[in-house]
Amino acid sequence: MGDEGVALVELAGVSKAYGGVRAVRAVDFTVRAGEVHALLGENGAGKSTLMKVLSGEVAAEQGTIRIAGEAVRFARPADAQRAGVAMIHQELDLVPALSVAENVFLGREPHARGVLDRRRMVAETRQLLARTGVGFDAATPVELLRTGERQLVTIAKALSLDARILIMDEPTSALSPHEVTRLFAVIDQLRRDGVAVVYISHRMEEIGRVADRATVLRNGEVVAEFDARELTAAQAAEAMVGRPVHLMFHAETRATVTEDVLEVADLVVRPRAGRREPAGISLRVGAGEIVGVAGLLGSGRTELLETLYGAGPKGARSGTVRLRGKDFRPRSPRAALRAGVAYVPEDRRVSGLALEHSVLANTVLSIVDKLTRFGLVPAARERGKARETAGRLGVKLTSLADPVGALSGGNQQKVVLGRALLTEPALLLLDEPTRGVDVGAKAEIYRILGEIARTGVGVLLASSEPAELVGVCDRVVVLRGGRSVHELDTALAGEAELLAASMGDVR
Ligand SMILES: Nc1ncnc2c1ncn2[C@@H]1O[C@H](COP(=O)(O)OP(=O)(O)OP(=O)(O)O)[C@@H](O)[C@H]1O
Ligand SMILES: [Mg+2]
């Protein structure tokens, strides 16, 4: 059980502002050796900023850091790493063109007699991957991996540093329940080894399972501390938001389907090298229906949505897709958008947002064509639409002119969703739409999805959270190895059945 009770990390009076935004204010925060300490808070509460101070990426204006009782100053991440601090970032910071092994050892590649020891690098990476139960190889280029797989790579990378303080900023946001279980086993081992773990997550059900203590931030300040084992989701949410929150969501009225918006039959996409692609997917989405897509990593969820959005692999494809009764083969996202299909991608960094551009520009990007009058986009209309969307989704920002990159992770996700809604689609494709979104905003997004469906839009929702699929969807289609293998009616089946079907254990 390590040195239990000893404060390995002590942050005292830490403050950090970005321009006029006070992201973190006078925060005291301690983590003991052998403790998993959850850090909770709404989107923009200051969690990532506080942890970037501890990992040497952001310089605090005020406050002190002590590691094992000794005052330290971190001018850069390398300083923190030397002191034993490693951080798994919320936004995955991998180099796509490099292999998994190269990413894991980036900047500290092993050498033997002056030359790069590639063999050792690959061998050690394989061991690390085995620890997290990963199914892909160390030599795979990261660009061929899906978001959840990339998340596992960043975890392996942090583990390889042998840190005594490990910060995990939303490590499970793209993982399915099966992968989460494996990660928790790794975390339990770290705890036994006496590592201090800071665990940030918006998945409330994880906190009691994995954490010992929980600290809640609100508007940059510590507002509560709990024994994590006894903390209920409702208590946590109330501390985060500052008032009681209704966490329950359920489709109030079930859709009475009059026509199909989308019909997919035996959809097969030509495989890209080394990857499995959807093979034999059949499903339908009626007008006003929310249909879920479930499945483990690599089951074909994302490939399916990308294909429907004209962003899938080019080339031969078999099977049929019909949109509002007509044959549908979009050649590009632009063509799909014009046909009435909107898409919220899984990884907002890769395909979602232009981070250096303003919230305004990112929000209205999708509807510039529609807003244009006589070749000009009226600025007032543009601002009006963007402000309305940001307000509706509760995006926390100072100005629409802020670059999207300055928003917290969850708030970036809301911008992506808002932009898709603005196109007024007939079919809305969502891949992990609440990834990194806080509890209050999640409930709001579910409410909005219900509202949109009631206007006759068909919604196809891919998610790795069984509770979300069962709570929000009318039906859930389960994919395995690129095939649709099962369909559940959520009025009759629950999370347990869904999990069993995803794992291939259908009774
Ligand atoms: N690089 C930056 N430039 C300007 N403002 C920033 C920057 N990074 C964060 N902020 C602001 O600081 C505040 C805290 O952001 P932070 O990313 O720490 O929130 P968070 O608690 O991690 O939220 P989330 O759950 O959405 O990840 C927010 O208001 C955010 O807009
Ligand atoms: Mg964050």
Domain range list for the chain: 7-241, 246-340+425-507, 352-411
User: Is any atom of ligand 1 closer than 6 Å to the C-beta of 17?
Assistant: no
Ligand nearest to the CA of 22: 1
**Residues ≥6 apart with Cβ < 8 Å to 114:** none
Residue 126: count of CB within 10 angstroms of its CB:
17
User: Is any atom of ligand 1 closer than 6 Å to the C-beta of 55?
Assistant: no
Query: Would the CATH topology of 7-241 be identical to that of 246-340+425-507?
Result: yes
CATH classification of 246-340+425-507, choosing from 3.40.30.10, 3.10.580.10, 1.10.357.10, 3.40.50.300? 3.40.50.300
Measured in angstroms, how far is the CA atom of residue 393 from the centroid of ligand 1? 17
Q: Residue 88: beta bridge partners?
A: 168
User: Is any atom of ligand 1 closer than 6 Å to the C-beta of 434?
Assistant: no
Its pTM stands at 0.80
CA nearest neighbour of 41 among 447, 410, 359: 410
Homologous superfamily, domain 7-241: P-loop containing nucleotide triphosphate hydrolases (3.40.50.300)
With the most atoms of ligand 1 within 8 angstroms of its CB, the residue from 15, 21, 50, 411 to mutate is: 21
Low-confidence residues in the chain, pLDDT < 50? 1-3, 270, 272-274, 277-278, 506-507
User: What is the radius of gyration, based on Cα positions, of the chain?
Assistant: 23
Q: Which two tokens stand for residue 273?
A: 């090298």
Protein residue with least CA distance to atom 8, ligand 1:
406
38 by Cβ neighbours in 10 Å (0-12 / 13-18 / 19+) ranks as buried
